[in-house]
Amino acid sequence: MIDINNVSKWYGQFQVLTDCSTRINKGEVVVVCGPSGSGKSTLIKCVNGLEPFQSGTILVDGTSVGAPKTNLPKLRSRVGMVFQHFELFPHLSITENLCLAQMKVLGRNHEEAHNKGLQLLDRVGLKAHAEKFPGQLSGGQQQRVAIARALAMDPIAMLFDEPTSALDPEMINEVLDVMTQLAAEGMTMMCVTHEMGFARRVAHRVIFMDHGQIVEDAAKDEFFGSPRSERAQQFLSKILQH
Amino acid sequence: MIDWQLIADNRELLVEGMLYSLKLTGTAMLGGIVIGCLLALARLSSFKPLSLFAAFYVNLFRSVPLVLVIFWFYFLIPYFGFQIGPDKSVFITFTLFEAAYYSEIIRAGIQSISRGQVSAAYALGLTYPQTMRYILLPQAFRNMLPVLLTQTVVLFQDTSLVTIIGIKDFMGSNVVVASNNSAMTEMYTFAALAYFCVCFPVSLMLKRLHKRIAVIR
Amino acid sequence: MTLNLNWGILLEESATGDGPYWTLLATGLQWTLATALTGWVIALLVGSIVGVLRTLPYRPLALLGDIYVEVFRNIPLLVQLFFWFFVWPEVVPQEIGRWMKQDMPYPEFITAALGLGWFTAARVAEQVKSGILSLPRGQKNAALALGFSLPQTYRLVILPQAFRVVIPPLTSEFMNIFKNSAAALAIGLTELTFQMKQMVEYSNEVIVSIAAVTTIYMTLAFAVNRGMAWLEKKARVPGMIGGGR
């Protein structure tokens, strides 16, 4: 589903990604972790072309992201993305947030979009808030709306860029629950996150990145059981202490 | 100090002058915001020639006095063979001049919206024009509305400068009445008072609006 | 049509009888500079006082400051200049009025500099006030707690900080005063734009006159910008708000 081959990226002289390769199969849940500044967020943003990269290729369902003739908006409309800071559109109501892209990008009519939106809002447990504005919801609620917004596009895969790191601790679980449910339904997911509990429960594979490189790419049990690299071991011991 | 009888006798001229000033303000505001918006987008564009052109335009108009620009067009338009008369040509002058100022306000407004909003819109598959139209500009305009309107009050005051090239805007009409009746003291005091009575309530309202919008954000 | 640009016109004798055209522009520039700089000194002095007044805990004084700012900001500059030039001598006591009309030297210049100064003072006051309000409240309390009087607190603690905060917004006001000085041609000040108008009317060299004067204004704007950037850098305090390193 997502094929990343030898991707490298520079900001001027500074190399942020070095030769990253991995593959995410249909229905697979992959967690990407690593210390901050390791390039994991950059990598996930390359997958839907939000960040350009200078060498290598990324194929999403057979379409090359970096190719000049690729219709990026079309490709992005098929890949859902959830951001660290939610990025709901504050000037639009929750319903409008859910409907806008369905109508403008997929060309659905208002009724269709509205029904779809409400159905997904119900699924993340927020149907009662449909007419509110993003600023009136808590962080956890906003992030659940953001997930519903992405799902409304009927994506073939979902990208999560640190979806819980801007949340207060008591709100993290409500978001992780939605993600867990999604994984159980067979959604293809690539998640940048520090939530190792989530990784243990839900992920099929874990990718560990450091200094712009994929250091470790292993099945979940293997990764948590006996990480091969020293850096991954150090990282795990730091993050699992508490 | 104010001769109300004289003002009543000349009310038609004065009202017409005020209408001219308001029309000039309205036109320059609408035209200026539209062109200013295009300039702001051009300036933020990653296509170098476009952003350089916009930067040059804005810096040029912001470095010179409005009075000078009024004279540019006053002399240049007939020089290039267009005989449209100064009272029409200042509509072009003010629109182009104000566009430079509005564009800086709009640019700041756009830049006040976080990059994440653009990323989120793109991630949903919206194109650049859609992102601008549905996500960025509506938010940016809400944030900058008070500043845009404050600039419009400044613009309204600046329209009085067309008096210099003999146009009968509100101030120009006062000058005419003053010199026809040798009543400078009375008419210029009245003009100052009238401008104040128009601008002060609007400024006051804008201050409230500014506070309210600050709260919403 | 063809553009016939005669750049040599600048060196030719002007029809006004004041020497070659370039001297016309030079005189204009001198008046522009003199008016703007004098006006700026007045604006800084009056504006600082009014700005401070507006932050004082004495309601009547603060109100006085507010009234000043509202009056001067809500009447167009041109109308203010007309008022000071034509109306003011009529309303002051007769003796002074007569002196202003007959014996005051350079009446256009003095009126323009004062008018421009008072007008700009309202804008300076606005910046000074918000500069003072942007400082942490603790600063004033700390100074008062150390036993400083209120005037000492302002002079030694608040104003030195506030002025650093307001340098960037004052830069644009300083630039504006040069541009606004052009409005004084309406009361007969022979500043730069006035001289351009003269030159166009006497020489018919529209493009050359416009290009020359526009270049001077742009150079002026550039110089002001650089100068204020230098000042800002000099006044910077390491680690203070907006100071950086």
What are the pLDDT digits (tens) for B146-158?
999 999 999 999 9
pLDDT at C19: 78
Sorting pLDDT into bands at 50, 70 and 90, what band is C138?
confident
Q: Look up tokens 């709306």; give the residue.
A: A145
Residue A92 has pLDDT above 50, yes or no: yes
Buried residues in C88-98 as b, exposed as e (16+ CB within 10 A): bbbeeeeeeee
Using DSSP, state whether A13 is helix, strand or coil.
coil
Is A100 in CB contact (< 8 Å) with chain B?
yes
Q: Angle of helix B170-180 relative to helix B11-44, nearest 10 degrees?
A: 150
Domains and CATH numbers, chain B: 4-216 (1.10.3720.10)
CA–CA separation, C82 and C88 (whole Å): 9
Q: In terms of DSSP bridges, do strands A157-161 and A189-192 run parallel, antiparallel, or are they unpaired?
A: parallel
Say which CATH architecture domain C20-235 belongs to.
Orthogonal Bundle (1.10)
Looking at residues A70-78, what average pLDDT do you find?
90
What is each CA distance from B125 to A75, A103, C76, in whole angstroms? 7, 11, 49
Give, rounded to a whole angstrom, the gap between the first and last alpha carbons of chain B: 47
Using DSSP, state whether A159 is helix, strand or coil.
strand
> Each residue of A30-61: pLDDT tens digit?
999 998 889 999 999 999 989 999 999 999 99
> Each residue of B16-26: pLDDT tens digit?
999 999 999 99
> Each residue of C151-210: pLDDT tens digit?
888 888 888 888 888 888 888 899 999 999 999 999 999 999 999 998 888 888 888 889
**Helical residues (DSSP H) of chain C, grouped into ranges:** 21-53, 59-73, 77-82, 88-91, 94-102, 107-134, 137-145, 150-152, 159-180, 192-203, 206-235
Neighbours of B50 (CB within 10 A): 15
CA proximity to C183, closest of B70, B188, B190: B70
Is B112 in CB contact (< 8 Å) with chain A?
no
**Cβ–Cβ under 8 Å, residues B125 and A76:** yes
Residue type, position C24, single letter: L
Closest residue of B to C89, CA-based? B185
CA–CA separation, A85 and A90 (whole Å): 12
CATH for the stretch A26-52+66-78+156-242: 3.40.50.300
Lowest mean pLDDT among C13-22, C81-90, C141-150: C13-22
In this structure, the dihedral spanned by the alpha carbons of residues A85, A90, A93 and A94, taken in order and rounded to 10 degrees, is 0
Q: Which residues of chain B have a CB within 8 Å of the CB of A50?
A: 119, 122-123
Residue B100 has pLDDT above 70, yes or no: yes
Q: How many CA atoms lie within 13 A of A5 on its CB side?
A: 11
CA proximity to B48, closest of B58, B56, B59, B37: B56
CA–CA separation, A149 and A158 (whole Å): 11
Q: Which residues of chain B have a CB within 8 Å of the CB of A136?
A: none
Residue A155 has pLDDT above 60, yes or no: yes
B60 with C186: Cβ contact below 8 A: no
Q: What stretch of H or E contains B205? A: helix B184-216
pLDDT at C242: 47
pLDDT at A241: 63
Q: How many CA atoms lie within 13 A of C2 on its CB side?
A: 3
CA proximity to B158, closest of B24, B17, B13: B24
Largest CA distance in chain B: 69
C161 forms bridges with which residues in the sheet? none
In chain A, where are the structural domains located? 26-52+66-78+156-242, 89-155
**Cβ–Cβ under 8 Å, residues C208 and C215:** no
> Each residue of B141-193: pLDDT tens digit?
888 999 999 999 999 999 999 999 999 999 999 999 999 998 999 999 999 99
Q: Which residues of chain B have a CB within 8 Å of the CB of A159?
A: 123
**Cβ–Cβ under 8 Å, residues C39 and C113:** yes
A50 with B119: Cβ contact below 8 A: yes
Tokens of A102: 């369905």
Q: Is A185 exposed, middle or buried (0-12, 13-18, 19+ CB in 10 A)?
A: exposed
Q: In terms of DSSP bridges, do strands A55-60 and A2-11 run parallel, antiparallel, or are they unpaired?
A: antiparallel
Looking at residues C126-130, what average pLDDT do you find?
93
User: Which is more confident, C127 or C238?
Assistant: C127
pLDDT at C243: 40
CA–CA separation, B94 and B162 (whole Å): 10
**Cβ–Cβ under 8 Å, residues A35 and A210:** yes
B125 with A73: Cβ contact below 8 A: yes
CA–CA separation, B101 and B88 (whole Å): 21
Residue B216 has pLDDT above 60, yes or no: no
Using DSSP, state whether A158 is helix, strand or coil.
strand
B115: distance to nearest CA of chain A, Å?
10
What is each CA distance from A26 to A65, B10, B85, in whole angstroms? 18, 82, 71
Using DSSP, state whether B129 is helix, strand or coil.
helix
Neighbours of B46 (CB within 10 A): 6
Looking at residues B92-112, what average pLDDT do you find?
94
From B123, B130, B138, residue closest to A81, measured CB to CB = B123
A80 forms bridges with which residues in the sheet? A158
B-contacting chains (≥3 CB pairs under 8 Å): A, C
Ramachandran class of B41: left when φ > 0, alpha when ψ lies in -120 to 50, beta otherwise = alpha
CA–CA separation, A92 and A86 (whole Å): 14
B71 with C196: Cβ contact below 8 A: yes
A104 forms bridges with which residues in the sheet? none
pLDDT above 90 covers a percentage of chain A that reads 72
**Cβ–Cβ under 8 Å, residues B41 and B69:** no
Looking at residues A139-162, what average pLDDT do you find?
94
CA–CA separation, A122 and A178 (whole Å): 12
C182 with B189: Cβ contact below 8 A: no
**Cβ–Cβ under 8 Å, residues A24 and A15:** no
Ramachandran class of C73: left when φ > 0, alpha when ψ lies in -120 to 50, beta otherwise = alpha
B11: distance to nearest CA of chain C, Å?
19
Average pLDDT, chain B: 92
A79 with B116: Cβ contact below 8 A: no
B119 with A76: Cβ contact below 8 A: no
Q: Is the dihedral of CA A25, A3, A209, A86 positive or negative?
A: negative
Tokens of B82: 């267009």
Residue A204 has pLDDT above 70, yes or no: yes
Chains C and A touch (3+ CB pairs under 8 A): no
A83 with B117: Cβ contact below 8 A: no
pLDDT at A239: 78
Give C101-127 as a DSSP string.
HHT-SSHHHHHHHHHHHHHHHHHHHHH
